[in-house]
Amino acid sequence: MIRVLPEAVANKIAAGEVVERPSSVVKELLENSLDAGAHRIEVRVEAGGRRLIFVEDDGSGMSRDDAMLAFERHATSKILTVEDLFEVSTLGFRGEALPSIAAVSRTLLDTRAATDSAGTRIEIHGGRMQSVTEIARPPGTRFEVRDLFYNTPARRKFLKSESTELGHIASLVTHYALAHPEIAFRLTSMTHEILNAAPAASLRDRLYQVMGGQTLDQLVEIAPVSRKMPSYDQPDESESETQEDSAAIFGFISRPEIQKLNRNQIYVFVNRRLIRDRLILHALTEAYRNILPASVFPVALLFLEMPPGEVDVNVHPSKTEVKFRHSGFIHDFARESVRAALARTRPMAAFPAAHVERSRFAQPSGFAHEHSETHPQDGTAASPAVQSAEDLPFGLTASQPIPFSRSFDFSPAPELARSPADASLPPLSDRSGTAIVDEFPKNLVPLGQVRESFIVAANDDGLWIIDQHVAHERVLFEQRLSAILQKAAESQRLLLPVVVELKPEQQVVFDDIARELAVNGFEVEPFGRRTIAIKSAPAEIRAEAAEKLLVAILDNVCAEGQGLSLDALRHRIAATVACHAAIKVNMALDGEKMAWLLGELAKTDCPMTCPHGRPVLLRYSLHDIQKAFKRI
């Protein structure tokens, strides 16, 4: 028997699409406040938004009738006709958010329209109206959404840890704050003021307010550029070229030396709406081609503006996907604008390292290192400006691994810097006869290096190729994990503390994992609002790399998107330390060092794969060699 679902059930179903997690509630409420013309928006959350999401604005407010209507499905003040749907200039328009949120929480709405003398309070639990009362309050609107998903246990179970949810919310509010510099934003949790941004005069000022000067230094500005849209049939409109026919782009993108493990720091806004869009991501990747290795990502804050009719936002209930009317044009416009901004950048020193201890073996130029893998101009490997291996204090035995690693360059090899999630194993064997091995070979005799990156070794079983960075990474990873278990992770004191500004979501993660960072040899002290001072760092890395490592760990945990178990967190940190401390590719090694590395590798529990799951060595077996020479 077919039935039309009761309103309450329909709303719960819709809630599944609109309200996926606490940050989706924050997003909808923020968008409503922005649509209501707010100048000041305050967000407060408790327990990562599960217990409370509070959003208050000084926008237009609602009359009593409108407030009651707002919780009806498809009740919206923003569009009226089908035609309006193609010209949406507000963030909301579907009229689905409030009924969806109210269906899965205990919601309290206080609101007053400026023209009304009294305000209205509405209480709704699980979609059922509890009370409507008259209250006194200033114009504007306040939502209190409590106990999210209290009546949908299945949904509640899928929520991640409180800090993960708070991280999402912090990132969301931060980026809406960036999209609207003229509006004051404040975000607090029970314990922290995560963001407090007074109205700013420009995007650059807001970026400085929110992210700090260090982030700003890593970015280049895309000054606003506009380009005429391709023409299309517009019978009602004149031929003349107006603002209405143009698309504009502006924002900030990271300098080539900034490399992120994932796309989490790429934010794209279309008409000030935060979206996730493949087309723009692709354009961005293209713009960085031959500038960034394929598996790392830039930071980007891109604002695209175009006539509302040029973009269809009614593609997905959460309005995060859009369809461009002229997608090819938008793609190329974005790519070319980013590329042009990149072309104007000048390399900058990787470390403002004057204030940290410089080891005797510090590299002459940080920048040369950052690029030792891929040369920006021609995409080929450039020779790194490093000392030859002979200059290094090597006479080491296996019991002295730390000086070995300390004497090398510690930046992560870009091609390795990818999140474990997408580091799936390559196929076990390729057509050329090399195979990834499943048992570690003994008695390997190193013969030399290919391109100062891959160690070639031989034994009676055949010919072996070892990725030197990945091999060393495995060694360091296991050493660190066992040191942590024995509470003996070595730490080095920095000559001067390194001050690091944290982004709001990094601060959330930092608070969450501070103890584990300490176990790992980081001694860090708060140093003002969202700023910390690193006083000690893990011993394996170069002192100058302390900041980079800490930020990589925070970003890595941010990216995880779920509450990590202590065990998983330890693995994650150890893998990140190993990645930063391991010798890189493009590094000459003499026979002794190669033998040392192979010996250390043989001692590890998992010599065959790196901590990210990639293979460490390949084999060309004796059998294959004999076959190739037609001896068998």
Residue ranges that bind Mg ion, judged by CB under 5 A? 32, 92, 97
Which partner from the list Mg ion, ligand ADP, none does 78 bind, CB cut-off 5 to 8 Å by kind? ligand ADP
Site for ligand ADP contains 97 (CB under 6 A): yes
Site for ligand ADP contains 94 (CB under 6 A): yes
User: Would you say 44 or 78 has its CB closer to ligand ADP?
Assistant: 78
Q: Which of 93, 267, 288, 410 binds ligand ADP (CB under 6 A)?
A: 93
- Which letter, b or e, does each residue of 614-628 get, where b requires 16 or more Cβ atoms within 10 Å of its Cβ? bbbbbbbbeebeeee
Site for ligand ADP contains 127 (CB under 6 A): no
Q: Rounded to whole angstroms, how far apart are CA atoms 168 and 505?
A: 7
Site for ligand ADP contains 75 (CB under 6 A): yes
Provide the pairing of β-strand 40-46 with 184-188. parallel
Cα–Cα separations (whole angstroms), residue 551 to 98, 547, 574: 37, 6, 14
The string of DSSP letters for 504-554 reads HHHHHHHHHHHHHHHHTT-EEEE-STTEEEEEEEETTS-GGGHHHHHHHHH
Which partner from the list ligand ADP, Mg ion, none does 141 bind, CB cut-off 5 to 8 Å by kind? ligand ADP
Q: Which of 70, 513, 594, 598 binds ligand ADP (CB under 6 A)?
A: 70
Q: Rounded to whole angstroms, how far apart are CA atoms 600 and 401?
A: 9
Site for ligand ADP contains 76 (CB under 6 A): yes
Scanning residues 133 to 152, which ones bind ligand ADP (CB under 6 A)? 141
* Helix, strand, or coil (residue 35): helix
Scanning residues 379 to 408, which ones bind ligand ADP (CB under 6 A)? none
- At closest approach, how far in Å is the CB of 143 from ligand ADP? 7
User: Would you say 146 or 331 has its CB closer to ligand ADP?
Assistant: 146
277: left (phi over 0), alpha (psi -120 to 50) or beta: beta
Instruction: Assess contact for 100 and 18: CB atoms under 8 A.
Output: yes
- At closest approach, how far in Å is the CB of 29 from ligand ADP? 7
- At closest approach, how far in Å is the CB of 55 from ligand ADP? 8
- At closest approach, how far in Å is the CB of 97 from Mg ion? 4
- At closest approach, how far in Å is the CB of 111 from Mg ion? 14
Q: Which of 33, 174, 259, 479 binds ligand ADP (CB under 6 A)?
A: 33
- Which letter, b or e, does each residue of 380-399 get, where b requires 16 or more Cβ atoms within 10 Å of its Cβ? ebbebebbebeebeeebeee
| Phi/psi at 394 (5° precision) | -105, -30
User: Would you say 92 or 615 has its CB closer to ligand ADP?
Assistant: 92
Q: Which of 28, 409, 505, 547 binds ligand ADP (CB under 6 A)?
A: 28
Count how many Cα atoms sit within 13 Å of the Cα of residue 45 in the half-sphere of its side chain: 28
Q: Which of 26, 30, 45, 62 binds ligand ADP (CB under 6 A)?
A: 62
Strands (E), 13-70: 40-46, 52-57
Q: Which of 22, 95, 167, 497 binds ligand ADP (CB under 6 A)?
A: 95
| Phi/psi at 105 (5° precision) | -160, 180
Footprint on this chain of ligand ADP (rule: CB under 6 A): 28, 32-33, 36, 57, 59-62, 70, 75-78, 92-98, 141
